[in-house]
A and B are shown apart, each in its own frame.
Chain A
Amino acid sequence: MNKQLTSTFSGSPRSEAGADALFGEGAIAKFQRLSNRAMIYMLALTMVTVVGFPLFWMVISSFKLPNEMYLFPPNFLPAEWTLQNYSDLFTQTSFGLYFLNSLIVSVGATSLSLVIGGLGAYSISRFRFFGIAGFSRITMLCYMLPEVLIVIPLYIYVVELGMADTLFALIIGNTAFTLPLTLWYMKSYFNAIPASLEESAMIDGCTRLQAFRKITLPLALPGLIATGMFSFNHAWNEFLFALVFTSSESNKVLSLGLATWIGQDNIYSWGMLMASAVLVAIPVMLFYLLVQRKLVTGLADGGAKG
């Protein structure tokens, strides 16, 4: 609509001259600018509405009473706001346990990757000995491999080593992807920290390990935190290994636990499912708010595989 208006005005020189005579020099340009602005706001509003509606619907529905969830046509705002879905989650289901299991697996895989991968990434970044460059390229390839390619042999490992249906198996399984991620991402982070800082410390009498601990590590801390979050996010999200490696109720992580609830309307109402969705999304959304800037550049570099 606005676009049409501007094009009729600017498209025909006569009307433009006429309008200029009427409103004075520059009125057309001003109008055009204004209608451009209006266009941008309209598009932005449409975008936010369409993209954000499912999220809005999740949050709103989680506060509705069970009988309201099945209304058709639906209420767009709850007739009565309630926290019943949330309290039901913790009193009637294993949601709390799933949440704890997910935390254990994600924190486990992330810490393992940060310690082992962080050290490895430092060496990849600083040293040029035989095989290191090649290894660096292989880590990238590992990161790109699909889970589905290695899930069968990993399952056989897990069964033969007696680790079937344990959270430990999930921690190890997730490391297959969070470790290459850490190596790859931390390598570029260490590359950005000048080696000259360590070298001058070493001239002053530090050993390499001291220089690493006192100079490089503190500088790399923001990178470690960002990498840790990507890694946590990956493990928090992971589903295939959880589906294949674990089965008992007490070892289910969130992704698997919630997946088994879908379709069991009689036990787990949609209100509870939406409330659980909100709670599962909260940790990652918090991360986003905490490290917004770093996250945006990191994600664009492929920090989250997906």
Chain B
Amino acid sequence: MSDSASALKGDRFIAYCTLLPSALILLLLVAIPTVLVAILSTQEVGLGEHSGPFVGLSNFIDVLTSDTFYRALVNTIIWVFGSVGLDMLIGTAIALLLSKTFFGRGIARAIVLAPYLIPTVVAVLIWKYMFHDIVGVLNYLLLKVGLIEKPLLWLTSANTAMLSVILVGAWKFFPFVVLALLGILQAIPQEQYEAAKIDGASAWQQFVKITLPHVLPVFLLTAMLRTIWTFHKFDIIYLLTGGGPLDSTTTLPVLVYQKAFVDFETGNAAAIAIVTGVILAFLLGIYFVLIKLAEDKQ
């Protein structure tokens, strides 16, 4: 009895000792900074200073009544819907294709996953070269096929910049959807399809009655996860366009960076960061509810 009690005590000691460093690091690097952002968002912080007098909600009022914020909010919504929509569409189609067995599938899968594995800066370098106004291969190919009549200024025109950024984002991140869906597609028992075939079900009927119900929960969770990650994506947009031209690709994370480290309006930047965080918390809430629903269903 006393033996097991002392063993328990020893275990408790080990448990808290091993968790302490992790807890401390997360406290210092994540928890306290999150609180600090909230505090900064209520301060008027001058140039080169790291805190300032309390000004209540005036930073939030400044931000929420400014055109730049709304512009960035609308841009973020377009960016998220465009990228996630394309991710899901292409990802689902390719997952369905890769779930079939065919010669060379392993290589095909490796090529399809590659964009997701390469660093963002690599993807940006490649596409910057392909988008190039004068020597870009993309304009050349599209001109040749006849899809466009004159070269497009992909990243340097306010009309096409967002579209270009969305295209690169979709190319880079759709493989995540393939991975997520491929796993679940391959887990569907094949007997169900064979039974359906014997009963004379068409390919479309098999898809609607067997594939869809199996895949739907994972599909929704994946879409939500992609929405969350796409929403706070900074590097790919910043590296491709820097938020321009004419702010046409400035999303909320890019705006936070610009306000904080280019305009040095730390208070306003913190307020935008908090608004971004609140929207994200809302999205995360939906995600966790979806996970709960999916678990309950099982």
Chain B, Cβ-Cβ closest to A287: B117
Question: Contact between B257 and A277 (Cβ–Cβ < 8 Å)?
Answer: no
Known contacts A120-B22, A135-B23; A148 and B276 CB within 8 A of each other? yes
Q: A47-B97, A48-B108, A146-B253 are known contacts. Are A240 and B235 too (CB-CB below 8 A)?
A: yes
User: Binding site of A, secondary structure by majority: helix, strand, loop or mixed?
Assistant: helix
B125 on interface, CB distance cutoff 8 Å: yes
Cα separation A60 to B30 with both chains bound (whole Å): 43
| Size class of the A contact interface (CB-based, 8 Å) | 35 or more
Shortest Cβ distance from A298 into B: residue: B179
- Give Cα A142 to B12, complex, Å: 24
Q: Is the CB of B108 within 8 A of A148?
A: no
CB distance from A171 to the nearest CB of B (A): 11
Contact of B104 among A44, A141, A183, A237 (CB under 8 A): A44
Question: A305 on the interface (CB 8 Å rule)?
Answer: yes
B130 within 8 A of A: yes
Looking at B113, B119, B231, which has the most chain A CB atoms within 10 Å of its CB? B119
A258 to B257, CA, bound (A): 19
Judge if A302 is at the interface, Cβ distance under 8 Å. yes
Q: Which B residue's beta carbon lies closest to that of A52?
A: B111
Asked if B119 and A236 make an inter-chain contact with CB atoms under 8 angstroms apart, the answer reads yes
Q: Are A148 and B253 in contact (CB under 8 A)?
A: yes
A43 close to chain B: CB less than 8 A: yes
A306-B15 contact in complex given A146-B253, A280-B119, C-beta closer than 8 Å: no
How distant is the Cα of A305 from the Cα of B235 in the complex, in angstroms? 13
Taken together as a complex, chains A and B put the C-alpha atoms of A287 and B113 apart, in Å, by 13
A176 to B116, CA, bound (A): 22
Which of chain B's residues has its CB closest to A138's CB?
Answer: B26
B129 within 8 A of A: yes
- CB <8 Å contact, B33 and A150: yes
| A144-B284, A149-B37 known; A69+B235 contact, CB < 8 A | no
Q: Decide yes or no whether B124 CB sits under 8 A from chain A.
A: yes
Determine the distance from Cα of A61 to Cα of B128 in the docked complex, in whole angstroms: 13
The answer, yes or no, to whether A170 is at the interface (CB within 8 Å) is no
The answer to whether the Cβ of B14 comes within 8 Å of any Cβ in the partner chain is yes
Stretch from A87-95, A121-129, A213-221 that touches the partner: A121-129
B129 and A57 within 8 A (CB): yes
Q: Is A17 among interface residues, defined by CB-CB distance under 8 A?
A: no
Interface residues of B in 119-133 (CB under 8 A from A): 119-130, 132
Complex formed: what's the CA distance from A126 to B273 in Å?
37
Bound together, the chains give a CA A236 to CA B119 distance in angstroms of 7
Complex: A194 Cα to B52 Cα, angstroms = 54
User: Is B280 in contact with A274, judged by CB distance below 8 angstroms?
Assistant: no
- Does A5 touch B at the CB level, under 8 Å? no
Complex CA gap A122/B18 in Å reads 8
CB–CB A281/B119 < 8 A:
yes
Q: Give which listed residue, A123, A146, A160, A280, contacts B19 with CB less than 8 A.
A: A123
Which 7 residue pairs are nearest across A and B when measured between Cβ atoms?
A: A146-B232, A120-B22, A153-B33, A153-B36, A176-B29, A150-B33, A239-B235
- Given A44-B108, A129-B12, A157-B33: 7 more A-B contacts, CB < 8 Å: A48-B108, A120-B21, A156-B36, A175-B25, A274-B129, A281-B119, A306-B176
